[in-house]
Amino acid sequence: MLLDQEERRKQFTPSSPTKLKPTEKHVPPYHLRIQSSSSSSITAIKSSKHFMVSAFIDHRLNRVLRVISIIKRDNLKPLYCVYCTEDYYCKTVLTHVQIHADHFSFPFGASDVICQGEDMQDATHVLVMAEKNISAELTMDFLPVRNKEVNKTFKFNFTVCISNLFGNYNNVLQFVQTIEMYKLLGVQHMVIYKTSCGPELDKLLKHYESEGFLEIVPWPIDQFLNPSPGWNFQKHGGDLHYYGQLVTLNECIYRHMYQSKYLLLNDIDEIIMPYKHDNLQSLMEELQSVKPNVGVFLIENHIFPKTQFEVSGRFKRNEWSNIPGINIMEHIYREPDRKTVFNPTKMIINPRKVDHTSVHSCLKDFAGGSYHVPFKVCRIVHVRIPLQGRLAKEQLFEDKRVWDFEKELIPNVDRTLKRSGILDDHEQ
């Protein structure tokens, strides 16, 4: 999404997060029966209009417990944190509630509920409540506490976070080309927050999940709220910005805080593409050598109109003719920048240096700040409907970077389409 500069300032100027500070003494410890709600990614906070999503120990803040949440902004009342050890020994404290600055005026906003108390590092489960008193006879839905240990070695070097997938999105060909391109660039893991999608894409997702590359987080936000399909509340309406995009982006950061060295935060139809380097590892080695303390690297988005086709037809393959979606190999013409229009960025981040993020920039980090990566070093390849549709092909820039990977990319795409059963289905 592109905004003009004035709208951008209005929508993206961070303000101080809304907070409730603790003013009451802790409730004495007690025992509870715990029913874990780990199978659900969204849990209603009883006696409120709010929701809790997941819980993490934040070792950067003296081991406080951070609960990623969705808060009704005009209904902010005291919330209580019930945290328990593995033997169900529980304590209750009043929380800090932080509503993220970028809520785009929607009624509900991505939020952190911060729990701080004695022996917090021993907590295995947590529950956010709107009432101070809790009955020991009730079986409550608790969240498991994650990130209890700090890992200094990581399972993955690069993980891609796709914030949401909804509707009947069925852009199979572009998706498989994007995934296989990312694999060639060095990505080892991808996370998708899934509400719904089209049938062929669902088949492809299951294939990538079965091979261990893809982690699918169910995101049934439409069962709890009326999520907006867009970013503009006045235009799109709904309860929550873009199917909860800001909630899932922040959840992905904490979910992989100690699993992945870097996270790529981009949309499902975008590729963060190195132009000076052959892969992401070489790119980040150079960027970190130049900016060793930076934890947020901003990458410019650039549009490749799907309406403009490469003239030779060399990648118009019969094997892909019946596969739903866009063939990114055919679209090599890039729109020029416009001086009066903000060019949004996506990010490569060190998750351990980020407190919380928005879509195009980090809202709060732990020192180091952000660095705008030069256009010639790295930029986003984004094949989609044009934003400057009146421009003729001659007014666009030829950009064949994707073709540099054709010898490996094409057979890998074919192999995946066959193994997932999609190519065979569409050849019949």
Q: Are strands 270-274 and 214-218 parallel, antiparallel or unpaired?
A: unpaired
Say yes or no: do domains 17-146 and 156-427 share a fold: no
Tokens representing 243 are 């199917």
- Could you tell me the fold of the domain covering 156-427? Spore Coat Polysaccharide Biosynthesis Protein SpsA; Chain A (3.90.550)
Class of residue 233 by CB neighbours under 10 A (exposed 0-12, middle 13-18, buried 19+): middle
DSSP 307: T
Task: Give the per-residue pLDDT at 88.
Answer: 82
Task: Give the per-residue pLDDT at 367.
Answer: 83
219-274 pLDDT, tens digit per residue, is 999 999 999 999 989 899 999 999 999 999 999 999 999 999 999 999 999 999 99
Q: What's the mean per-residue pLDDT of the chain?
A: 91
CA distance 38 to 218: 11
CA distance 300 to 297: 10
Task: Give the per-residue pLDDT at 425.
Answer: 64
DSSP 160: E
282-302 pLDDT, tens digit per residue, is 999 999 999 999 999 999 999
CA distance 98 to 14: 13
Average pLDDT over residues 78-107: 94
CATH architecture of 17-146: Sandwich (2.60)
The SS3 of residue 401 is helix
CA distance 192 to 174: 16
pTM beyond 0.85, yes or no: yes
Tokens representing 361 are 């920039």
Terminal-residue alpha carbon distance, the chain: 38
Helix (H) or strand (E) holding 161: strand 156-165
CB contact at 8 A, 217 and 53: no
**% of the chain with per-residue pLDDT over 70:** 89
